[in-house]
Amino acid sequence: MSKAFPENFVWGSATASYQIEGAAKEYGRGMSIWDAFCDTPGKVESGHNGDVACDHYHRFEEDVKMMKELGLQAYRFSIAWSRIQPDGKGEVNQQGIDFYNRLIDCLLEHGIEPWVTLYHWDLPLALQIEHDGWLNKEIVGHFEKYSRICFENFGDRVKNWITLNEPWCAAVLGYGIGAHAPGRISQSEPYISAHNLILSHARAYRVYKNEFAHQNGTIGITNNCDFRYPLTDKPEDVAAAERSMEFFLAWFADPIWKGDYPEVMKERVGERLPKFTEAEKAEVFGSSDFFGLNHYTSMMASEPNENDTLVSDIAGNGGMIDDQQVFLSNDPSWNKTHMQWNIVPEGCRDLLKWIDARYDHPIIYITENGCACDEPDTDAALNDVMRKEFYESYLRESRNAIEAGVDLRGYFAWSLMDNFEWSFGYNRRFGMCRVDYETLERTPKLSARWLSDSIAQNGANI
């Protein structure tokens, strides 16, 4: 028997500024690290960039109208830091403030609740060039000032804030294996940048709670995590799966919900793992009103043997293989997305239960979930049965997690529309709506129509 999601469950979709806005060299916006990364030969597939993207800056009104037609109740988007402060630290660009005010007002006029992410990877380039970006602890103060500007200008209408999107990706892909901007490769810099990301999140949280409590909003952080199943029931494989989860999610979540880094990371990383002062621990601990989760896939984890070759990649160990010592593999029965990510809906359920148990039953929002599908032509794009089945199966398992006692309160599909997919350029399609990049026309796909119909029928009755 199908069951509906709880009353007041939040249904939405999500995007990120650099992936959709365009207008990269207009209206006072400064360059970001992704502008520079895209301009570096060989870094982005097909040499694509976000100069135009989906042209959301100029066409947000029709995008909001499309959201309304799809029945979305909430829209999660990010603010481009360099559109607010072109150099990340100096004067405010009023044109940037005006743009986001227009977007927020338009959303509210259409009955759509804005969920705003302060940072989704597009660091102002000046902060990277002049101050080493997230490697310099001074960035905590810069992020504090930027956050305060956003709260002051938008907080009267925005009641749902996310400080950082996927700091694991910013640290590991950006500073560990060089797959994302700023393209650095190091065994130590991921830990340094992660430490400063966590401190920056906490500082923004405290600013909001101490100075803007009268706005009556909530604020949290969004972490990403793939679930890890042990390859066998051998104790060493069970331990490897848990260790992989701790190096992935607990790295960022434990300081907030438990007060410090996981012990296994302290033991294995040693002096390369920065230490929190007692004052920093106090500022970080408890600095999230909810647990934001981006989840896409699952893998098998095992203790490596002498024949296993450990690989650093985007979906794997992420450049810290010597520290984790976990061998990752796939169940051959699992289907895959166009990103070659495993489709494992039960992994979503089990991850939600893992979070619920480890962090003492927090409020959870799935702030991203979706899949890339191979769409060689318009007909394939619009008739995206695979994506429909993906959403249906992951939503079913999300609801099963709720039935098991998990306090899941919302779901945001990634993404609203096809967009610039980072190092893959425009060659991977995650959107519920198709974008024709020659005309920039938008067309809802089967998945969007199915999801909107499901929401309308008593809250995604699956």
User: Any idea which residues carry the catalytic annotation?
Assistant: 166, 368
Rounded CA-CA distance 352/348 in Å is 6
Please, is 416 exposed, middle or buried when counting C-beta atoms within 10 Å of its C-beta (0-12, 13-18, 19+)? buried
Residues in CB range of 129: below 8 A, 6 or more apart: none
Q: How many CB atoms lie within 10 A of CB 94?
A: 12
3-state secondary structure of 316: coil
What order of strands is seen across the sheet that includes strand 227-230?
227-230, 298-302, 327-329
Structure token digits, residue 343: 């489709």
Q: How many CB atoms lie within 10 A of CB 340?
A: 11
DSSP state of 259: S
Rounded CA-CA distance 314/316 in Å is 6
Rounded CA-CA distance 51/23 in Å is 6
**DSSP alpha helices (H): ranges in 212-331?**
235-245, 251-257, 263-269, 278-284, 321-324
- The overall longest dimension of the chain from CA atoms, in Å, is 61
Residue with tokens 């796909």: 445
Closest CA to 314 of 193, 216, 178: 178
